[in-house]
Amino acid sequence: MTNIETSVGMVQKRMLAACQKAGRSPDQIRLIAVTKRVEAERVREAVALGLCDFGENYVQEAKKKIEAVGLGPVWHMIGHLQANKVKYVPGLFTYVHSVDRWELLEQLDRFGRELLVLFEVNLSGEPQKHGSTAEDLRAILARVGELRHVRPVGLMTMPPYNEDPEASRPVFSSLRELLSDINRESGCALTELSMGMSSDFEVAIEEGATMVRVGTAIFGERS
């Protein structure tokens, strides 16, 4: 089983090196430890090591785990959100990274609890991936003034898998440019870029990521 303390140290060193290369401060990047199929005991170990942010892909798994871990961590919903699971989200998560349609925003807003949301954008055009197009995103943002409780804060994307981290760079760069364009066009003040995982988070940091979602490099391969 992967030694979490050693793994966290290695990830933090990689993050620091990427920040130095990009001329950024490590304080600008939030490390989200992805706990899909990770036992609550190992999550508590990561919390004891100083990690604050944790990401889950499935609401049902997250509910049991968040209750077992207890107060302290900030939880991020990073997986695709099904309509029938939306009702659980406001009581479990602080951030939702996977908003890709207006109807989902409306549902989340009805619960009357503050949520910070990121819009998932499918920049690769892969049909098997979730996420809105850039055009659909603009249509969603045109209506955010109707929201009372949900607060948009940024964008998220997942590039096609490739063993070469550099292959992800064009997608990360495109998301950064889209964030800039959206803010200029809409008057929004989105600041978060959730991009980069275990295999390519250094490239994401170089391209402006403010959140990196790292699971395998911390907890090892999951069954």
Query: Residue ranges of the domains in the chain?
Result: 4-219
pLDDT band at 129 (very low <50, low <70, confident <90, very high): confident
pLDDT of residue 126: 81
Distance CA 173, CA 157 (A): 11
Nearest to 152 by CA among 112, 97, 201: 97
For the chain, give the mean pLDDT. Answer: 95
59 pLDDT more than 70: yes
For the residues 131-144, what does the mean pLDDT come to?
Answer: 95
217 pLDDT more than 90: yes
222 pLDDT more than 90: no
For the residues 183-188, what does the mean pLDDT come to?
Answer: 92
The residue among 223 and 14 whose pLDDT is bigger is 14
Nearest to 118 by CA among 108, 128, 129: 108
pLDDT of residue 1: 65
pLDDT band at 137 (very low <50, low <70, confident <90, very high): very high
Question: For residue 140, what is the DSSP state?
Answer: H
120 pLDDT more than 70: yes
Place of tokens 């600008």: 28
Give percent of the chain with pLDDT exceeding 70.
99
CATH for 4-219?
Answer: 3.20.20.10
The residue among 81 and 129 whose pLDDT is bigger is 81
Nearest to 55 by CA among 34, 86, 81, 71: 34
Give percent of the chain with pLDDT exceeding 90.
92
For the residues 62-81, what does the mean pLDDT come to?
Answer: 96
For the residues 128-156, what does the mean pLDDT come to?
Answer: 94
For the residues 196-206, what does the mean pLDDT come to?
Answer: 98
